[in-house]
Amino acid sequence: MIRHGRTDVNEKGCFGGSTDTGLSIRGIKEVENLKLHIKDIDFDCIYASPMIRALQTVKILGFDYIIDDRLREIDFGIFEGLSYKDIEKKYPKEYEKWNTDYLNYRFINGESLMDVFERACDFLRSVDKNNKRILIVTHGGVIRCILSEVFKSRDYFYKFKIDYAAANIISYDDDFMFIKGINCISNIKNLINN
């Protein structure tokens, strides 16, 4: 799973979930660097979020892909485009509700983290495990949901920091899923081949 490259919204420290922005200049360079490390890897199937930043990422990487709407980032609703501090000031009651129950809190005009977990897990169940190598180009929130599922606990969501334009590798052994690497760049081939 690869997180898209950085965007201007990300660089400002704001929540950009469903805000459909493209990559920043820095984000493009991050993805170009990643491409050097995965260009020779053959993938059986490649999926991408329908959001511009993910599509730009997969195109720079040079792969054909299938768009899957379940891979889009969370919709932060009225919090879109705001920083954490801005949210706390502008929406103190909503901020408190969110911090009290981050899994089930539904952002006004948006969705809950539980909604994203359901989408991500539905995607995971639908993927043909007979494909040996699957590449997913998506978002930090979706990747953290999938990594949390390795532990069968959604409480792990905030235990992961997912870097921009880096790979997070999980592997299946029958029905057992395990993590092989987080935030990988130069060691991707090694991890995939072992």
**Domain limits, the chain:** 2-193
The whole-number pLDDT of residue 131 equals: 72
The whole-number pLDDT of residue 176 equals: 85
The whole-number pLDDT of residue 8 equals: 94
Please give the positions annotated as active site. Answer: 4, 73
How is residue 116 written in tokens? 């994203």
Is 130 annotated as belonging to a binding site? no
Instruction: For residue 95, give the nearest of 26, 15, 38 by alpha carbon.
Output: 15
How far, in Å, are 8, 34, 36, 152, 165 from residue 28 at the CA level?
A: 11, 10, 13, 34, 9
The whole-number pLDDT of residue 174 equals: 77
Q: Which residues of the chain have pLDDT under 50?
A: none
The whole-number pLDDT of residue 143 equals: 98
Is 9 annotated as belonging to a binding site? yes
The whole-number pLDDT of residue 55 equals: 98
Kindly provide the residue ranges of all beta strands, DSSP E only, lying in 76-153, ordered along the sequence: 134-138
Is 106 annotated as belonging to a binding site? no
The whole-number pLDDT of residue 85 equals: 95
Which residues does 47 contact at the CB level (< 8 Å), separation at least 6?
A: 65, 66, 67, 68, 71, 123, 127, 134, 135, 136, 137, 138
How far, in Å, are 13, 92, 99, 136, 165 from residue 1 at the CA level?
A: 23, 34, 27, 5, 10
The whole-number pLDDT of residue 59 equals: 98
| CATH 3.40.50.2300, domain 2-193, yes or no | no
Is 10 annotated as belonging to a binding site? yes
